[in-house]
Structures are given as structure tokens and as C-alpha cells.
Amino acid sequence: MNYARFLTAVSAARKPSAIRLLTELQQRSPPSLISLAGGAPNPNTFPFQSASITVRGGDALLLDHTLMKRALQYSGSYGIPELLSWMKDLQKSLHNPPTASFSADRGQMEMCVTTGSQEGLCKIFEMLVSCGDNVLLDAPTYSGTLAALQPLGCNIINVSSDQHGMIPEALQKILEVWDPADERKPRVLYTIPNGGNPTGASMTHERKQKVYELARKYDMLIIEDDPYYFLQFQKPWAPTFLSMDEDGRVLRTDSFSKILSSGLRIGFVTGPKPLVDRVVLHIQASTMHTSTFTQLIVSQLLHNWGQDGFLKHIDSVIEFYRSQRNAMLSSADRWLKDVAEWHPPLAGMFLWVKVKGVKDTQKLIMEKALEKEVLLVPGGVFNINSSDPCPYVRAAFSLSTPQQIDEAFRRLADLIRESV
């Protein structure tokens, strides 16, 4: 793969920071190294001494004075080595990416830590999307993606989708009209493959295979934004685009926001090294790196747990969301059957509800729902053009108790009946 052809002028112009390279070097050097390089402050002047964090189950994560000094200091832009290596091992055991055995110049699998997957996405878009480019995605989609993409001045082309995600035949129809020599033909496809935000849709393995084949045929990169991968209610978990990436054309974003903490802001980009390296050049010039402190906490936890402990924790998170989902589905059945339609989500934390007899839910929610003391997201905000009418609302089953969910749907049903 020649990755240079995918890069925007801005990304192509990025150059490594000499100072950041020294930080990476220092990170890998023995403690006997005497460094007069870099401009790191002296952590002995910092007020924080040590920390102990209690983990559910009774274990404690201890940041003694030495580790605390490291936690408070600058670190490398790819992420701290022990977290990166743990994550690389996890990616390999979960996805067995063909790219793991590639040579570096052929698009070998590389990873970097990002401040939430949102940072990764935003930087990936800036790397690949120029003003006037045609970008493919299946809307309605995550509003954070639209917020990152739309200011770049691209033309977003909507690929039809249903509860099983993007429809390959619809994608084929869009792609086949382009002359292969046309510079403006789409080169980037974005999708949320599991428990889509807001639709709750999960893509089948077969659809992913077809979409991957189309990406090969039409020479596109796939951005696999998968923060709900670990919230899949059925096992075995669906194979990912990363797992089928024979060419090195998949950039995957993972997130710990839904499973460890959203506030710690830890996400990961996995993809071909030449592209991940470009994302890191952008990180060098912006945040420099994700907080060393939060990376160390998460890394300690993961090393203490091992992969088995991590996956055991994930199972308990899944159990919670599964029972929340089931509670929401039974409340929907109880109250909304006559006034709305929905598909049970197989992953994630959202139910996407189509309100019958209402063309656009914007007014219903923004003006009338508050009076009834119930709040949902009107579906329009997830459309490419947010002012297009949308009969859907997004209901999250993450935070409310089953009793609250039940009462909320009772109020919503009242509201809908009064409005139609």
C-alpha cells in the first residue's frame, strides 16, 4: 500500500519533533542514562507524593513516590510502553490481525494511545480528509463524528443501513458510478460496527466481509470506530474489520470509556504503521501525549488483572448492560408497542425508537418532553443534515434504573399519544 496518496496536505506536512523523539528514546533507556536533553521539569518540585487507588474486589493500585514522579512527568507520544505492549497483545489475541506479521513499510500493525477514542477519530479525519473530499458513512451516526468531519468541508455520502449496519449492496451502488481515475472518488469509509450510536445496529460478519471486499476493489480505507466492541451481548463476538485486514487498509479506534472509565480518557488507534505514525505526529504537535498519570493507573490495573482478569471484568460489565437492555425492552413492550417501533440492540447502550405518526421528534422532545419530565435525544442530531426531519429518538439504558426506565417510557407514551 502506498499510504502517501491518502494523506491530506496538512498531515503530509507534519514533521517529527526532535524533542519528542528524545523523550521516546529516554523512555526506552536504562536509568543509568544521564540526560541533559529535553525540557522536562523536575518532578521533585511537584506537590503530589503518592497515591493508592482501591479497586473493586479489594486490590489496590499503588503509585509510590518513584512511580508518582513518572506519572507526573511528560512521556512518549505513542503512549507509555507497558500499556502499549499490553494492548498490542490484547489486539493480537482478540483480532489476530494479518497486519501483525507485516513488515513496517508494508503497513505493519501499530498502535498509539489517544485521549479517548474521540481524539483518535478527530486526528484520523484530519489526516485523511481534505476540503471537497467525498467520505462514506452510514448515517444516522455518532454526533461526535459529524462534529469532527463536517468542519473539514468534506461531502458526506450516506450509505443506507438497517439494524444489521451498512448495506453492502447500497455501498456498491454508490461506488460503481465513479470513474476509477476520478480524483474525487471516495477514499475513506467510516462505520460503527457494533451497537451503533445512536441506532444500536451491529454489522453481521457477512456484511463486514462484503464491505471489506468493496474497500479492496475501490481502494478505500476503512475507519472502524468500535467503542461498543466490549459491550456485545452475544458470544462469540463478531469478527472485526481489523481481523480481516489482509491489505493494511483498516484504522480501528478502541475505547476504555465504556468499560474502565470515561473520565480517564483512554482510547487507542490500531492500524498500519505509516498511518498511525502520522496520527502520532499530530499528537506530538497538540497534546504531546495522553496523561501519563491515567495511562499508568490503567496499565497497572491491566497488568495486575492479566487478559483473563480483564475479560472477566468485561463479562460483568456486559451482564449489567444486558439486564439494562432487557429491562428497557420490556418497558418498551409495555408502554410503546402501539406508538413506536424498535429493534433489540445486540450491543452497546442505546435503543433507537421510531415514533409512529410523528415526522420529526425535535419539537416533541425539546418542547414537550421536559414538561412531562422525560428526556431523550431527538434523532435529527445524528443526521448528516441535522435539520432533516427524523421520526426517531435515542434512549440510553446505561444510567437509569429499570424503574426509572419504565416510568420514562410511560411518560413518553403519554406524550406521543397527546402529540399525534
Ligand X SMILES: Cc1ncc(COP(=O)(O)O)c(C=O)c1O
Q: Pick from 16, 144, 239, 309 the residue near ligand X by CB under 6 A.
A: 144
Nearer to ligand X, 116 or 274 (CB): 116
| Shortest reach from residue 17's CB to ligand X, in Å | 24
256: CB partners within 8 A, 6+ apart: 264, 266, 267, 298
Nearer to ligand X, 23 or 117 (CB): 117
Nearer to ligand X, 97 or 116 (CB): 116
Q: Mask 59-98, x = binds ligand X (CB under 6 A)?
A: ----------------------------------------
Question: Which segment (20-28, 111-119, 154-162, 297-305) binds ligand X by CB under 6 A?
Answer: 111-119
DSSP string, 304-345: HHHHHHHHHHHHHHHHHHHHHHHHHHHHHHHHTTTTEE----
Strand partners, 221: 188
Q: Give which of 83, 150, 41 is closest to 303, Cα–Cα.
A: 83
| Shortest reach from residue 116's CB to ligand X, in Å | 3
Question: Which segment (10-18, 85-93, 115-123, 244-252) binds ligand X by CB under 6 A?
Answer: 115-123
| Shortest reach from residue 269's CB to ligand X, in Å | 11
Comparing every residue's Cβ against ligand X, the nearest one is 116
Residue 345 interacting with ligand X (CB under 6 A): no
Q: Pick from 117, 202, 292, 324 the residue near ligand X by CB under 6 A.
A: 117
Residue 147 interacting with ligand X (CB under 6 A): no
The Cα–Cα gap between 353 and 199 comes to 9
| Shortest reach from residue 56's CB to ligand X, in Å | 21
Q: Pick from 35, 234, 262, 304 the residue near ligand X by CB under 6 A.
A: 262
Q: Pick from 23, 91, 99, 118 the residue near ligand X by CB under 6 A.
A: 118
Residue 290 interacting with ligand X (CB under 6 A): no
Q: Pick from 192, 201, 296, 353 the residue near ligand X by CB under 6 A.
A: 192
Which phi and psi angles does 165 have, rounded to 5°?
Answer: 85, -160
Strands 377-378 and 350-355: unpaired
**In angstroms, what CA-CA distances link 355 with 202, 336, 338, 350, 397?**
21, 9, 10, 15, 18
Strand, helix or coil for residue 61:
strand
Q: Pick from 108, 232, 255, 294 the residue near ligand X by CB under 6 A.
A: 255
CB count within 10 Å of CB 358 equals 21
| Shortest reach from residue 115's CB to ligand X, in Å | 8
Q: Give which of 414, 418, 299, 416 is closest to 361, Cα–Cα.
A: 416
Residue 9: exposed, middle, or buried by beta-carbon count in 10 A (0-12, 13-18, 19+)? exposed
Q: Pick from 26, 85, 209, 257 the residue near ligand X by CB under 6 A.
A: 257
Residue 43 interacting with ligand X (CB under 6 A): no
- How is the chain split among helix, strand and coil, in percent rounded to 5? 45, 15, 40
DSSP string, 232-282: BSSSSPPPPTGGG-SSS-EEEEEESTTTT-STT--EEEEEEHHHHHHHHHH
| Shortest reach from residue 383's CB to ligand X, in Å | 15
Residue 142 interacting with ligand X (CB under 6 A): yes
Largest CA distance in the chain: 75
Nearer to ligand X, 197 or 295 (CB): 197
ω into 236 cis (within 30 of 0) = yes
The Cα–Cα gap between 290 and 113 comes to 7
Residue 126 interacting with ligand X (CB under 6 A): no
Nearer to ligand X, 175 or 269 (CB): 269
The Cα–Cα gap between 140 and 199 comes to 7
| Shortest reach from residue 26's CB to ligand X, in Å | 28
What is the number of alpha carbons within 13 Å of residue 137 lying toward its C-beta? Answer: 26
H or E element at residue 122: helix 116-128
The Cα–Cα gap between 242 and 124 comes to 16
Question: Which segment (114-122, 325-333, 334-342, 356-364) binds ligand X by CB under 6 A?
Answer: 114-122
Q: Pick from 225, 245, 247, 406 the residue near ligand X by CB under 6 A.
A: 225
Give the residues lining the site for ligand X (CB under 6 A): 116-118, 142, 144, 192, 197, 225, 227, 255, 257, 262, 267
